[in-house]
């Protein structure tokens, strides 16, 4: 009976996945060795309560995940108005980020592409209002 009480306590106290897993395995092993129906029922109810608690925690985590992902998706929908035309910032990056994205060694390479017209002017945004930041449409212009 002492071991039964300890395992039920472990089931009730389990918080982490590892603790829940360990206490559930111990409970399952003990359940097989119990002979009294009332002890088996007590342990069965404790296991059920432990799984219900874990299930609620998983449901709460899923809800929080969905909320965070919704916020992330909403944040991705940022746009900017330039000369009366709206541009989604999902498709535009700084020259420095463009270099990282397409593995280009230097920003001067991209700047030269802009000067020579390799990158069409409609794929360049000069944002004077934002300290003259220059954005490039995030598509590959190589090759």
d(CA 143, CA 38): 76
In whole angstroms, give the CA distance from residue 1 to residue 49.
Answer: 19
Q: Give the predicted TM-score (pTM) of the model.
A: 0.50
CA–CA dist 143, 140 (Å, integer): 8
β-partners of residue 94 are 135
Q: Which two tokens stand for residue 44?
A: 């069965």
* Residue 53 CB burial class (10 angstroms; 0-12, 13-18, ≥19): middle
Residue with tokens 């996945």: 17
Question: Consecutive 10-residue runs of the chain (143 residues): their mean pLDDT?
Answer: 88 90 92 91 93 92 91 75 80 92 93 94 88 91 68
Supply the pLDDT for residue 82.
79
Supply the Cα-derived Rg of the chain in whole angstroms.
Answer: 30
């Amino acid at each position: 009976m002492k071991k039964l009480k300890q395992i039920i306590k472990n089931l009730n106290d389990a918080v982490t996945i590892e603790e829940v897993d360990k206490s559930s395995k111990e409970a399952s092993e003990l359940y097989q060795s119990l002979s009294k129906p009332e002890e088996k029922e007590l342990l069965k109810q404790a296991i059920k309560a432990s799984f219900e608690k874990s299930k609620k925690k998983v449901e709460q985590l899923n809800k929080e995940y969905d909320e965070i992902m919704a916020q992330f998706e909403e944040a991705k929908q940022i746009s900017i108005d330039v000369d009366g035309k709206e541009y989604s910032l999902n498709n535009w990056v700084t020259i420095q980020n463009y270099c990282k994205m397409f593995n280009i060694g230097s920003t001067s390479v991209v700047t030269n592409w802009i000067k020579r017209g390799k990158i069409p002017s409609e794929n360049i945004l000069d944002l004077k209002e934002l300290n003259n930041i220059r954005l490039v449409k995030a598509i590959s212009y190589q090759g």
